[in-house]
A and B are shown apart, each in its own frame.
Chain A
Amino acid sequence: MQRAFKASFAGLMTVTLLSVSALAGPIAPDKVKITDGELKTSLTGKPGSDVKGAEWFKNRKLGNCLACHVNSKMTDEQFHGEIGPPLDGVADRYSEAQLRAIVVNAKAALSDKTLMPGFYVSHYTDPLKKFAGKPILTAEQVEDVVAYLKTLKE
């Protein structure tokens, strides 16, 4: 009796896990489709963490957003670049769906000519081998950054 219960419970767990991952597994970079400058659904099916997002934002090996943007909320970081516009109040200017699209692929969301890299793109020319086929940020990190950008209100 006990054993049977355990077995069916285990079976149930497997089924649930499978269906969760089928539903909510991150959308692969080449499956992402930006329409009218928007990406409405979360890449992971879940909201991200703004606290982690702030870390990826600063991190020179990940977002490195400060390379090109001023962010007045990060005064503890010494150098802020000036290639792109300051991100102060960016959540007042763009919806979450637009912010997600900009982070995922700024060339598709904003302008083909922008210097801003696409952070969730897997096709580019002549990458260093260890980065080939990989996006700069994972789906989860993108959602974290989007969650952080949503806090940038004036």
Chain B
Amino acid sequence: MATKILKSKRFGYAVVGLACAAACATAAFAGPNDNKLTIDGQEYVTELPAPEGSPFDTIYSGWRFRNEATQAMEMDDFDNPGFTNVESGEALWSKVDGEAGKSCASCHNDAAESMKGVRAQMPKWNEKAGKPVTLEQTINGCRENNLKAKPWKWESNEMLSMTAFIGSKSRGMPVKVQTDGPMKSWWEKGKKLYYTRVGQLDMSCAGCHEDNYGKMIRADHLSQGQINGFPTYRSKWQKLGSIHRRFKGCMKNIRAQPYEVGGEEFVALELYVASRGQGLSVESPSVRN
């Protein structure tokens, strides 16, 4: 206490805070909006009572924090710019590539069947690798080992198209990542990273997405930082982007050295963040600003 500003002053601040809660209508408006996400007549779960062990009472998809123009783009596949990638992904699915003379379809046939629910479970434990793998890593694993083709770059148009295409086969399904068994230590690691303050601004993911979601941070409406919609089309990027690209951007904003894309830290963080959204509908490819 001795090192902090005296109680009386803190009390003064508390009073100010209250005055604002009553007077600043914007603060009250600023939570998630009440709109419902329906695509092709199907209603998506964008809000649900938080899963056990969650720091929240209720979890919300990032869609609920976007303005209506952005929301509308995701509600119609013709307006959703991510669907160009879904189409290219579909073409790549059956395109022969690499020395084995195969395509993805050679082994996995109809993606609507074989890839159903895959996105919802990523990252997933991989017994051979002895660690969890992301969707990007799984795809590249198949390219290298099964197609005998070169791996795609993480943020390449091909990779984004394939993750959008495969992701679209889980649309509307609940996020369901494994967090127990061999995943447990990775989950713990991700959790630790989520709460660690880093960068010149000395902030953690939780400082923004847990303690302050629903509020405005200058022109941005803070969400819970969920990843049920990735890859995501952002107007800022003018294209789709991966989960790790988003993580990287958030770290750079607080002037922290981002972890390596595809590296153990980001995979652990992806697992942990995914688990904070258990039960939310997969929206891949979603639209944000």
Contact check, A128 vs B13: say whether CB atoms are below 8 A apart.
no
Residue on B with the closest CB to A68?
B217
Residue on B with the closest CB to A112?
B4
Q: How far is the CA of A124 from the CA of B216 in the complex (A)?
A: 25
Contact check, B217 vs A83: say whether CB atoms are below 8 A apart.
yes
Contact check, A93 vs B17: say whether CB atoms are below 8 A apart.
no
Is B201 located at the chain interface by the 8 A CB criterion?
A: yes
Residues of A within 8 A of B216 (CB): 79-83
Residues of B within 8 A of A131 (CB): 199-200, 255
CB of A71, distance to nearest CB on chain B (Å): 12
Contact check, B208 vs A115: say whether CB atoms are below 8 A apart.
yes
Is B12 located at the chain interface by the 8 A CB criterion?
A: yes
Q: How far is the CA of A70 from the CA of B200 in the complex (A)?
A: 23
Is B5 located at the chain interface by the 8 A CB criterion?
A: yes
CB of B234, distance to nearest CB on chain A (Å): 18
Q: How far is the CA of A129 from the CA of B200 in the complex (A)?
A: 10
Is B244 located at the chain interface by the 8 A CB criterion?
A: no
Q: How far is the CA of A131 from the CA of B208 in the complex (A)?
A: 21
**Chain B 96-127 per-residue mask, 1 if CB under 8 angstroms from chain A, else 0:** 00000000000000000000000000000000
Contact check, B202 vs A124: say whether CB atoms are below 8 A apart.
yes
CB of B213, distance to nearest CB on chain A (Å): 11
CB of B28, distance to nearest CB on chain A (Å): 10
Q: With A115-B203, A128-B252 in contact, is A94–B9 under 8 Å at CB? A: yes
Residues of B within 8 A of A83 (CB): 212, 215-217
Is B211 located at the chain interface by the 8 A CB criterion?
A: yes
Contact check, A118 vs B202: say whether CB atoms are below 8 A apart.
yes
CB of A150, distance to nearest CB on chain B (Å): 16
Contact check, A127 vs B215: say whether CB atoms are below 8 A apart.
no
Residue on B with the closest CB to A125?
B198
Chain A contact surface mostly: loop
CB of B156, distance to nearest CB on chain A (Å): 25
Is A109 located at the chain interface by the 8 A CB criterion?
A: yes
CB of B251, distance to nearest CB on chain A (Å): 8
Residues of A within 8 A of B17 (CB): 85
Contact check, A82 vs B30: say whether CB atoms are below 8 A apart.
yes
Residue on A with the closest CB to B5?
A37
Q: With A34-B3, A68-B217, A115-B211 in contact, is A127–B199 under 8 Å at CB? A: yes
CB of A5, distance to nearest CB on chain B (Å): 50
Is B24 located at the chain interface by the 8 A CB criterion?
A: yes
Is B207 located at the chain interface by the 8 A CB criterion?
A: yes
Is A76 located at the chain interface by the 8 A CB criterion?
A: no
Is A42 located at the chain interface by the 8 A CB criterion?
A: no
Contact check, A81 vs B217: say whether CB atoms are below 8 A apart.
yes
Is B16 located at the chain interface by the 8 A CB criterion?
A: yes
Residues of B within 8 A of A60 (CB): 218
Q: How far is the CA of A101 from the CA of B211 in the complex (A)?
A: 24
Residue on A with the closest CB to B214?
A82
The one of A37, A78, A94, A127 in contact with B256, judged by C-beta atoms closer than 8 angstroms, is A127
Q: With A85-B17, A128-B257 in contact, is A67–B9 under 8 Å at CB? A: no
Is A40 located at the chain interface by the 8 A CB criterion?
A: no
Residues of B within 8 A of A36 (CB): 2-6
CB of A118, distance to nearest CB on chain B (Å): 7
Chain B CB within 10 Å, residue with most, of A66, A85, A110: A85
Residues of B within 8 A of A78 (CB): 219
Contact check, A125 vs B196: say whether CB atoms are below 8 A apart.
yes
Residue on A with the closest CB to B4?
A37
Residues of A within 8 A of B91 (CB): none
Query: Contacts A80-B218, A93-B13 given; 11 further ones with Cβ under 8 A?
Result: A36-B5, A68-B218, A81-B218, A85-B13, A85-B16, A93-B9, A117-B201, A117-B203, A127-B198, A131-B199, A134-B200
Which A residues are within 8 Å of any B CB, using their own CB? 34-38, 60, 64, 66-68, 70, 78-83, 85-86, 93-94, 98, 101-102, 107-111, 115, 117-118, 121, 124-129, 131, 134, 136
